[in-house]
Amino acid sequence: MNEQKTANHNLPSQIEYFVDADEAARFLKINRRTVLRWAREGHVPAYPLDSRSERKDWRFRLSELNRWMAQQVDSICRPCPASRSEL
């Protein structure tokens, strides 16, 4: 029992769970098929459950998707164009 307490003590206090393609798509507000295509093509950070399988079942970490998305967005913040009523 002592070994188990020691092993658990070394785990991070916050473990991030992996999510499936449905949840990843909801997070990114895009279609599930798009997430799966991007995973296959290597555009988004993704992990296949069985890398030897021809048809892969992908898992994602939301923190990595969030970081990836932030890198895709232009880092220069641009103001919204003025509406015609303000001109």
Residue 47 φ/ψ region, left for φ over 0, alpha for ψ in the -120 to 50 degree band, beta for the rest:
beta
Read off the pLDDT of residues 15-60 as tens digits, 9 standing for 90 and up. Answer: 899 999 999 999 999 999 999 999 999 999 999 998 788 788 999 9
Phi, psi of 12 (to 5 degrees): -65, 150
The CATH class for the domain spanning 15-72 reads: mainly alpha
Domain ranges across the chain: 15-72
What pTM does this model have?
0.67
Instruction: Give the bridge partners for 19, in sequence order.
Output: 60
| DSSP-derived secondary structure for 16-37 | PPPB-HHHHHHHHTS-HHHHHH
Phi, psi of 41 (to 5 degrees): -80, -5
pLDDT-based confidence at 72, cuts 50/70/90?
confident
